[in-house]
C-alpha cells in the first residue's frame, strides 16, 4: 500500500501486454494512477539498459578532488605556520554548519513587543523603570547573534582546509544532475557568486571542461580571490593556471547585457546580512542567468528554507531579463513549482541530499566523508521541457520482496510508497530497489498519459 499527504495514489506498472505488438525488450513507463493499472506503451524508458541504470539514477560515485588541486592545497598548508590548524578547521566547520540566518529587524521588533507585554502583565510599579532593561536582556539571551565573517588570509586558509573538498562534492552533484539529464547541454560561460576557494570552477571544469571557455569568480574577499588564484596555479603566485579562462572580481557585473550559461551560488546566500540583500542578489543572479541558476546551501532547515525563498522569488518574479524574457521553472530537485511539502508539513524537515567524497588528505582527514547539502536548480524555459518524475527524498529502505520509497510527487505532495513486484510490476519494483536517496523514480501522472485509442471519438 502507499500512503500520502493529500490525494492517495497507487504506484502501478502494468504487466507485459501480449498481442499489442510490444517487442520483448521494450520496457513500459509506470504511471501514478488511482486504483487501476495503466501503461504508457509508447514509452521505452529503459531500452536495452539494465534496471540498475534506469534514467532516474542520478547518484554520483564517491567524488575525488583533482590531484593537481590536492597538491596545491597541501603545498599552501605546508607553507603556513598557523598553529592548531586541525582545531581551527573543526571549529570553523561546526560554526558554519550550525549557523542560522540573521534575525530581520521586523522580527526583532515583534519579539520585543511580545516580551514587553509579557513583562507588563507581571510587573509592579516599582519594576516599571527596569522594564526596558529586562526586555533588552531577554532579547540578547534568546536571539541568535549573527556575525559577518571577514575572510582575511589566515581564515581563508582555514576555510580551504575545512570546506574545499565538501563544497566540491556538493557542486559536482548539482552539475551531474544537469549533465545526466541533458547530455547535449554544453555551457560556454559560468559565473560563481561567492566563489571562495574556487571549488565551483574546479567542479565545472571536471564536468564541462571541454566546452567552458570563461569562468567569472566573484567574491568580496580579496584574500579569498588570491587564494583561489594560487590554487589554480599549483599553490604559487606565478605560473600558468591549470584551468584557463578564469577571471576574478570583487563585485557582480553591473551591465544588464552580460549573461552566463550557468550561474552558481554555493554556500554564499547564507553569508548575506539581510533578507533584502538576499532578494537583491537572487534577482541579479537570475538576470545574469542564460540557462541554469544553481543554488546550494547546507542541508539544514535554515539552508533549505533560504533556498525555497529564493526559488519562490524567481518563480513569482515579474521582472524579466532584457536579454532573455523566458520565465523560470524548477529543474531540480522539485518535480513541481508548488509550495515545498517539506516546509508545510506538521513537522518541517529539510529537503537535503548526500554526496560521498574522498577528503583532502591532510593529517586529520583520513576517512571517506559525506557532504549533506540542499540545492535548487532553476532553468529558463517552460516546465513542459522537463519530465516530472517523483524525487526520492530519503534513504530507500529495501526489505524482502518490498521497497519503501519516500517521494516528492508532481502534485506537490509527499508520498510514502511501498512497492512490490506483485502489486506494481517487476520493472517498477526493480527500478525502485536499485534507486537511492536523491534519484528520480521513472513514473508519470495520469495527465501525462497519451489518450487511449479506445477513448478517441469515432471518425465521421
Dump pLDDT digits (tens) for 394-424.
999 999 999 999 999 988 999 898 988 888 8
- The answer to whether residue 444 scores a pLDDT higher than 90 is no
The pLDDT confidence band at residue 103, using thresholds 50, 70 and 90, is confident
Are the beta carbons of 432 and 440 closer than 8 angstroms? no
| Beta carbons of 274 and 103 less than 8 angstroms apart | no
Over residues 115-133, the pLDDT tens digits come to 666 666 665 544 555 656 6
| DSSP 8-state assignment for residue 394 | S
211 torsion bin: left (phi>0), alpha (psi -120 to 50), beta (else): alpha
The pLDDT confidence band at residue 16, using thresholds 50, 70 and 90, is very low
pLDDT confidence of residue 13: 33
3-class DSSP state for residue 296? strand
- Residue 201: all three cell numbers together: 570552477
What's the pLDDT at 348? 84
Pairing of strands 353-358, 391-392: unpaired
Q: Please state, in angstroms and rounded to a whole number, the distance separating the CA atoms of residues 202 and 209.
A: 9
- pLDDT tens digits, 149-178: 889 999 999 999 999 999 999 999 999 999
Q: What is the pLDDT of residue 325?
A: 73
* Residue located via cell numbers 501480449: 18
pLDDT at residue 207, as a whole number: 97
Distance, in Å, from the CA atom of 89 to the CA atom of 165, rounded to the nearest integer, reads: 13
Map residue 15 onto helix, strand or coil: coil
Q: Could you tell me where the beta strands, DSSP code E, fall in 359-413?
A: 369-380, 391-392, 397-399, 402-408
Tell whether the model's pLDDT for residue 438 goes beyond 50. yes
Mean pLDDT of the residues in the chain: 81
Kindly tell me the burial class for residue 196, based on how many C-beta atoms sit within 10 Å of its own C-beta (0-12, 13-18, 19 or more): buried
For the domain with range 63-95+150-380, which CATH number is right: 3.40.50.720, 3.10.20.740, 3.20.130.10, 3.40.50.150? 3.40.50.150
- pLDDT tens across 192-228, in order? 999 999 999 999 999 999 999 999 999 999 999 999 9
Contact 263, 191 (CB under 8 A): yes
Mean pLDDT across 30-35 = 39
| Residues 6 or more apart in contact with residue 426 via CB below 8 angstroms | 13
Residue that has been written with the C-alpha cell 537572487 in this structure: 282
Instruction: Tell me how far apart the alpha carbons of residues 173 and 333 are, in angstroms, rounded to a whole number.
Output: 12
Residue that wins the pLDDT comparison between 134 and 426: 426
**Could you say which DSSP state residue 14 is in?**
P
Provide the whole-model pTM: 0.83
Task: Determine the pLDDT at residue 319.
Answer: 59
Burial class (CB in 10 A: 0-12, 13-18, 19+), 16: middle
Triad 168, 164, 177: Cα angle to 5°: 10
Question: Which DSSP string do the residues of 119-174 spell out, in sequence order?
Answer: HHHH--GGGGGGHHHHHHHHHHHHS---------HHHHHHHHHHHHHHHHHHHHHH
Amino acid at each position: 500500500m502507499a500512503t500520502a499527504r493529500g490525494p492517495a495514489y497507487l504506484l502501478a506498472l502494468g504487466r507485459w501486454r501480449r498481442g499489442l505488438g510490444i517487442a520483448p525488450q521494450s520496457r513500459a513507463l509506470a504511471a501514478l494512477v488511482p486504483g487501476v493499472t495503466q501503461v504508457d506503451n509508447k514509452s521505452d524508458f529503459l531500452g536495452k539498459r539494465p534496471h540498475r541504470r534506469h534514467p532516474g539514477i542520478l547518484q554520483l560515485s564517491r567524488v575525488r578532488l583533482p590531484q593537481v588541486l590536492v597538491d596545491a592545497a597541501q603545498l599552501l598548508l605546508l607553507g603556513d605556520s598557523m598553529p592548531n590548524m586541525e582545531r581551527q578547521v573543526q571549529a570553523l566547520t561546526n560554526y558554519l554548519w550550525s549557523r542560522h540566518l540573521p534575525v530581520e529587524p521586523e522580527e526583532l521588533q515583534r519579539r520585543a513587543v511580545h516580551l514587553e507585554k509579557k513583562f507588563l502583565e507581571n510587573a509592579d510599579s516599582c519594576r516599571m523603570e527596569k522594564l526596558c532593561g529586562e526586555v533588552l536582556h531577554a532579547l540578547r539571551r534568546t536571539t541568535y547573534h549573527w556575525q559577518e565573517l571577514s575572510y582575511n588570509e589566515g581564515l581563508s586558509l582555514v576555510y580551504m582546509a575545512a570546506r574545499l573538498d565538501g563544497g566540491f562534492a556538493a557542486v559536482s552533484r548539482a552539475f551531474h544532475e544537469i549533465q545526466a539529464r541533458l547530455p547535449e547541454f554544453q555551457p560556454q560561460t559560468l559565473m560563481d557568486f561567492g566563489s571562495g576557494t574556487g571549488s565551483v570552477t574546479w567542479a565545472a571544469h571536471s564536468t564541462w571542461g571541454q566546452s567552458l571557455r570563461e569562468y567569472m569568480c566573484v567574491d568580496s574577499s580579496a584574500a579569498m580571490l588570491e587564494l583561489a588564484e594560487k590554487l589554480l596555479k599549483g599553490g604559487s603566485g606565478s605560473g600558468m593556471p591549470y584551468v584557463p579562462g578564469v577571471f576574478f572580481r570583487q563585485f557582480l557585473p553591473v551591465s544588464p547585457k552580460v549573461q552566463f550559461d550557468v550561474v552558481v551560488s554555493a554556500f554564499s546566500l547564507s553569508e548575506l546580512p539581510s533578507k533584502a540583500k538576499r532578494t537583491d542578489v537572487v534577482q541579479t543572479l537570475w538576470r545574469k542567468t542564460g540557462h541554469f541558476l544553481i543554488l546550494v546551501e547546507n542541508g539544514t532547515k535554515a539552508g533549505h528554507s533560504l533556498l525555497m525563498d529564493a526559488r519562490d522569488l524567481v518563480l513569482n518574479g515579474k521582472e524579466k531579463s532584457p536579454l532573455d524574457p523566458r520565465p523560470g521553472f524548477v529543474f531540480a530537485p522539485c518535480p513541481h513549482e508548488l509550495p515545498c511539502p517539506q516546509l508545510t508539513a506538521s513537522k518541517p524537515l529539510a529537503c537535503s541530499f548526500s554526496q560521498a567524497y574522498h577528503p583532502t588528505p591532510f593529517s586529520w582527514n583520513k576517512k571517506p566523508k559525506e557532504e549533506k547539502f540542499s540545492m535548487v536548480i532553476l532553468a529558463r524555459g517552460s516546465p513542459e521541457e522537463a519530465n516530472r518524475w517523483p524525487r526520492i527524498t530519503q534513504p530507500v529502505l529495501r526489505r524482502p520482496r518490498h521497497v519503501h520509497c519516500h517521494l516528492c510527487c508532481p502534485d506537490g505532495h509527499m508520498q510514502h510508497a511501498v512497492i512490490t513486484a506483485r502489486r506494481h510490476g517487476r520493472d517498477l519494483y526493480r527500478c525502485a530497489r536499485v534507486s537511492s536517496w536523491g534519484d528520480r523514480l521513472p513514473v508519470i501522472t495520469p495527465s501525462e498519459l497519451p489518450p487511449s485509442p479506445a477513448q478517441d471519438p469515432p471518425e465521421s
